[in-house]
Structure 1
Amino acid sequence: MVSTRLTQPLRLSMSDREPGKSAPFTPRLSKEQTEALIGGSNLFLKACPGSGKTRTVAARVAAELSNDKTLAMLSYTNVGAREVAAAVVIDHSVVLKVEDFVGTVHAFLNKFVLHPFGHLVTRSDVSMSIDPDEAQARMPVGVKSAMFEFRMDGTIRHTKDKYVSDAQRMAITKAKRKAGREGYVNYSDSIFVCRLVLSRYPAIAEALAKRFDEIIVDEAQDTSAMQLECLRLIARAGLKSLVLVGDYDQTIYEFIGSSPGGCDGLATELGLKTVALSENYRSSQLICDMTARIRGGGPADRATGEHASLQVAPKLLLYKEGGERQLVEQFESIIVAAGIAAESKAILIRTGAAASKIKGTAIRTPLDSPFKEFIDVGATELVTFEQYKSLERVLVKRSFGRNHGLSLDRSLVRSHVAEFVDDLPELEGDLFTWLAEASRSLDAHAQALSPATTTPVSTVEPPESSKGVTADLWVVPENPAIGVDTIHSAKGLSIDAVMLVGMPRMYQWPTDAENWAAGIDAVVGFRPNEALRVGYVALTRARQLNVLALPSDTDEGLIARYESAGFERTKF
């Protein structure tokens, strides 16, 4: 099967384009973006916020697919990868082939390495499965499997770098290896197994390298050191082209293993050509100037989009602790006073608990599987593909006690899941009662799916903590006038007006206000830490207006620094 276009195909070879010839797929691209499109193979695309990297990468993908190339389009999240894929179809009318891959780096390695070959290094008799519950069940009492991961050399470390005795390390290693022999790994261990496969069996790495003409990794700065090592092994095995797309200053997942320095190092080692996208199509120049001061060092991005010349300065607001709920109303007043037409508005803060405080809602207690999957589906009108797949895994495991090494009629599994979703009651009333009803419904489908010879399905009771909790607390509101959420949830979004809220001193040391001011007037060579990068990502979401809300006891010296960076103080 070849890629097709709904109109006459336009073909462009990335590596063999004749000098001086104009490139198709470029009418909507700038000179910078066009260079990324036709820049040859093996690129490191450094993209500033709002640079139109999705549009640029989509144009490159469309051109490659129209030359019958086979591609893997990877990102840190499924949403990111599918945004590119959607742009390929919508903007260029190019259809992806079944041989192409769209998804996360994690899913890519699991599909092509872990599931078919992981057993070679774990010595399992069945194909490997990512099952955190089964992996946890084999751990020593009181030890959480997810809190310990393998280093490159195979030794165990605590994810928070806490002290681990030799005896504990040996016991945890033994438990993880036992789980592996039985076919189970958790999420982080699965990538370690993939690295072992690719390093111990070069022929597998070579076969994977030959399967794709190009692997594109969006948000590459958020990939972990272990994932980068897997990509390095594939690239070294003969991959024709690797394209990394990212921005060090937007790394906000270092706390769970992302390796921005490793990304730069891999690009250098493999000799990837660096192409910079420094034109910002999202924000005004005033916002670009301010965020450049915040991140510390380097020239400001060039605003070239619809709001480039908008003369609305960023605002700084001081709020009293305990008055967080007033921020929504104050934000709306500032937007009105600025005279902008803001169709999208968001208040961003670091934690979900702090966001609940601003919204005036109760803090939602996290739920484990399968109740998390029940809530995810029950809380929304539109069930996503990922949610259906999660429910399929839950149903199969409930039916057979495992979700791998089975020969199943997948259409039958999907049919049961669809019926389960349709039968879910309205998410309201007592949460424990709702979860229990959902669990009994799944049990009925599991019993119908499993053969009569299998062990009877055992009912799983909801956690006691869900008793007395209002179920509709989890319902996702439809298009609130002002969204209130965490900074991490806004990654990749463009928002007309953004309020970034710094948390009071009692929650941390140093404070958000101190962390986010660290780059202002920084010396040459300054590298922002993750706390600063989190604030930077929030501020760079804004198209027209930024408001920074800080606690009223913020030091005047800090406030003066923010004012020097372009903020104007606003009072109520």
Structure 2
Amino acid sequence: MTDPLDEPGYLTPAQRLVVDAPPDFLLTACPGSGKTRTAGARFVVRAQAGDRVAATSYTNIGVDQIREVISSELGRTVGPESFIGTVHKFLLQYVFYPFAHIVMGCSSPHLVDAENAGDDVRLNGDNRWRAPLGGFRFRPDGSLLYCGKSLPGWSRDQITAAGSAEAAIMKRRAAARGRATFDDAMYWSLRVLRDVPGAAAAVAGRFDELLVDEAQDTSELQLACLTELSGTGRLRSLVLVGDVDQSIYAFQGATPQGVHRLVADRGMRSVPLVENHRSSQLICDVAVHFCSRDQPDVAVGEHADFTARPEIVFYDPAQPTTATDHFLGRIAALGIDPTTTTVLARNNALVTLLNNQAERVECAPRPKALGRAVMALRHGTAGRHDLVAVDKIIAYAAWGEADSLDGLDPEGRRQVRNATIDLITAAPALGLPLQQWIRDAAVVLRGVASELVAVPVRRSGDVLRSAADQGDVVAGDYFTRPSPGFAARSVHDVKGATREAVLVVARGRTSPYRPPEAETWTAHLRGEQVPPEHAEEQRILYVALTRARKYCAIALPTNTSTAVIDSLQRAGFLRRRIEGG
């Protein structure tokens, strides 16, 4: 039987050079370059040569794609001497779980979700203003940065200044009890690599090659961990795979500069893949205007010569769904199946409007999880995930910690699950306003929690918190999920995905302090200086456009300035007007 690696056409000459390349390099891979296939093939070749290889990616999607190449396409199995998983899992398995107790000062560390990180942090010691502890993120130097949801009248910088000192004390107390959020675990892993003698060298020497896919999205803490491993001199080969122009996770501390620093510190060379097997040449020709490269990628795939030009369309700002209506009509004319396409937006509130859902209001995670479980049960679609989410809400109310479930015997778990069913079935009618629904659900929660313990640790109103701006939204509308078929998505939701056609909807001005999205996207095209904080916004548009194989379009509000429209036309977009727009 012929080895797929030897079959003509499985790898291009450029991809084969990467597979056989000497150690230590940054693979700069354009969208659609086949980098995942290349990474999987390199894993197989190195493993066949007897090397111990760890292949990681920032996301589970990336890991699954690498596994698909290795197992399904190449028919190989992964032996115990190698590793495939997320960067997070790699650091948990080889650093956090074996060693973190030393730096945390506990007997055995365990993970908690950010929502259950601990009590809220008082800002400037004032009980009237509180921010969730899980919203504070460690930086490599041990300082804290607030990255959670904003509060009325507070910027994230102000929350950081007012709450980071108390948050640091609370996080270290939690660590002494063995508790760490998923993000905090990366900080404690970094502390291990820096402070525990021999730990970094032992981990670095465990594998002959560490391959990191989607390196541009690796968090600030994870990059710092990689830097520590590299600095031991025991890491024989480090291969970073990615495209810094697709770095869109700044809220996790990921930046192109972080990758470049690691590459420079280790003296790694750069190996490019510039052939795009996904998009048409017309899409490549417009996308280049939103990345750092000077020349467009070379389209070589099945749809390289597709003749539909990227377009600008317009929509009524009061009716964003008109953009979707136009898109559906356009792809029908092109003979494209709508289920293979997507509508994308940068902002979740706009995604909600495009899906004809209730206008986005803030809703805390626990009432949202309960509401979606109630909705799912009443539609006959409730699954294990829904029930477990409500189990955790009840445990949090009864005993003060969601992970109290882990200490229950089978009878205790059965009682909690019975309480979950009671809570879901007795929940208020979903036709109520969202604010009233949450308040009434808290009353039901108090009753079921009191059946488990005489005095619940948490007040039900604190467990299920409502907000003043929820009064005009119907609970059932808010908790309805988009249909699994054609639906708008955020750009982050489709990172790494491929679609036949893509519509990117630009949001208009929503604040006197924030420009319309299209102005930010096109500032450089109009000769304006791009502030550092806006650079990622252009990368987000680049990621969105390059998901498309055959056709892409940008939808602009009808009140968009002529200068913005002209700049997009100069970049290669064809102007097309929505009927009646």
**Which deviates more, 329-338 or 361-370?**
361-370
In structure 2, the residue matched to 1:115 is 97
Q: Is residue 2:312 matched to residue 1:324?
A: no
Question: Is the Cα contact below 8 Å between 2:115 and 2:134 reproduced in 1?
Answer: no
In structure 2, the residue matched to 1:335 is 331
In structure 2, the residue matched to 1:259 is 255
SS at match of 2:45: helix
Q: Is residue 2:159 matched to residue 1:155?
A: no
In structure 2, the residue matched to 1:484 is 488
- Structure 2: how far apart are the matches of 1:300 and 1:512? 24
SS at match of 1:136: coil
- Structure 2: how far apart are the matches of 1:305 and 1:442? 58
- Structure 1: how far apart are the matches of 2:390 and 2:225? 29
* 1:556, distance to aligned residue in structure 2 (A): 1.5
AA in 2 matched with 1:550: L
- Structure 1: how far apart are the matches of 2:33 and 2:278? 7
- Structure 1: how far apart are the matches of 2:163 and 2:230? 36
* 1:24, distance to aligned residue in structure 2 (A): 4.3
Q: Are residues 520 and 77 of structure 1, via their aligned partners in 2, closer, same or farther at CA, if it must alter by over 3 Å?
A: same
Q: Are residues 29 and 230 of structure 1, via their aligned partners in 2, closer, same or farther at CA, if it must alter by over 3 Å?
A: same
Q: Are residues 134 and 494 of structure 1, via their aligned partners in 2, closer, same or farther at CA, if it must alter by over 3 Å?
A: closer
Alignment TM-score, normalising by the size of structure 2:
0.79
- Structure 1: how far apart are the matches of 2:409 and 2:554? 50
Q: Are residues 163 and 462 of structure 1, via their aligned partners in 2, closer, same or farther at CA, if it must alter by over 3 Å?
A: closer
Q: Is residue 2:226 matched to residue 1:231?
A: yes
SS at match of 2:503: strand
In structure 1, the residue matched to 2:166 is 171
Question: Is the Cα contact below 8 Å between 1:81 and 1:102 reproduced in 2?
Answer: yes
Q: 1:111-160, CA deviations, whole angstroms, 9 ceiling, x for partnerless residues?
A: 33223322211222442433535543274444432443333333344446
Q: Are residues 391 and 300 of structure 1, via their aligned partners in 2, closer, same or farther at CA, if it must alter by over 3 Å?
A: farther
Question: Is the Cα contact below 8 Å between 1:391 and 1:417 reproduced in 2?
Answer: no
Q: 1:326-352, CA deviations, whole angstroms, 9 ceiling, x for partnerless residues?
A: 222211222234455665121111112
The counterpart of 1:62, out of the listed 44, 52, 71, is 44
Question: Is the Cα contact below 8 Å between 2:201 and 2:229 reproduced in 1?
Answer: yes
SS at match of 2:194: helix
AA in 2 matched with 1:242: L
Q: Are residues 26 and 58 of structure 1, via their aligned partners in 2, closer, same or farther at CA, if it must alter by over 3 Å?
A: farther
The counterpart of 1:570, out of the listed 547, 567, 576, is 576
SS at match of 2:205: helix
Q: Are residues 42 and 341 of structure 1, via their aligned partners in 2, closer, same or farther at CA, if it must alter by over 3 Å?
A: same
- Structure 2: how far apart are the matches of 1:213 and 1:404? 37
The counterpart of 1:356, out of the listed 347, 352, 358, is 352
AA in 2 matched with 1:516: W
In structure 2, the residue matched to 1:518 is 523
Question: Is the Cα contact below 8 Å between 2:25 and 2:239 reproduced in 1?
Answer: yes
AA in 2 matched with 1:148: F
Question: Is the Cα contact below 8 Å between 1:36 and 1:275 reproduced in 2?
Answer: yes
* 1:106, distance to aligned residue in structure 2 (A): 2.5
Counting only pairs closer than 5 Å after superposition, residues 283-294 of structure 1 correspond to structure 2 as: 283-294=279-290
Question: Is the Cα contact below 8 Å between 2:288 and 2:295 reproduced in 1?
Answer: yes
**Which deviates more, 278-287 or 193-202?**
193-202
Q: 1:267-323, CA deviations, whole angstroms, 9 ceiling, x for partnerless residues?
A: 221122321111111110011001112335510000000110111111111222213
Q: Is residue 2:236 matched to residue 1:240?
A: yes
AA in 1 matched with 2:137: E
Question: Is the Cα contact below 8 Å between 2:313 and 2:323 reproduced in 1?
Answer: no
Counting only pairs closer than 5 Å after superposition, residues 486-565 of structure 1 correspond to structure 2 as: 486-507=490-511, 509-520=514-525, 529-565=535-571
* 1:229, distance to aligned residue in structure 2 (A): 0.9
Question: Is the Cα contact below 8 Å between 1:70 and 1:100 reproduced in 2?
Answer: yes
Q: Are residues 517 and 165 of structure 1, via their aligned partners in 2, closer, same or farther at CA, if it must alter by over 3 Å?
A: closer
- Structure 2: how far apart are the matches of 1:390 and 1:40? 47
* 1:401, distance to aligned residue in structure 2 (A): 6.0
The counterpart of 2:66, out of the listed 62, 65, 84, is 84
Question: Is the Cα contact below 8 Å between 2:327 and 2:503 reproduced in 1?
Answer: yes
User: Identity rate of aligned residues, in percent?
Assistant: 30
Where structure 2 has 5 or more consecutive residues not aligned to the other structure, the ranges are: 148-154
Question: Is the Cα contact below 8 Å between 2:397 and 2:459 reproduced in 1?
Answer: no
SS at match of 1:211: coil
* 1:414, distance to aligned residue in structure 2 (A): 10
In structure 1, the residue matched to 2:33 is 51
In structure 1, the residue matched to 2:303 is 307
Q: Aligned-residue CA RMSD in angstroms?
A: 4.3
Counting only pairs closer than 5 Å after superposition, residues 441-456 of structure 1 correspond to structure 2 as: none
In structure 2, the residue matched to 1:210 is 205
* 1:191, distance to aligned residue in structure 2 (A): 1.9
Q: Are residues 464 and 410 of structure 1, via their aligned partners in 2, closer, same or farther at CA, if it must alter by over 3 Å?
A: same
- Structure 2: how far apart are the matches of 1:386 and 1:456? 24
AA in 2 matched with 1:76: Y
Q: Are residues 522 and 361 of structure 1, via their aligned partners in 2, closer, same or farther at CA, if it must alter by over 3 Å?
A: same
Q: Are residues 374 and 99 of structure 1, via their aligned partners in 2, closer, same or farther at CA, if it must alter by over 3 Å?
A: farther
SS at match of 2:502: strand
SS at match of 1:124: coil
Q: Are residues 347 and 36 of structure 1, via their aligned partners in 2, closer, same or farther at CA, if it must alter by over 3 Å?
A: same
- Structure 2: how far apart are the matches of 1:205 and 1:400? 38
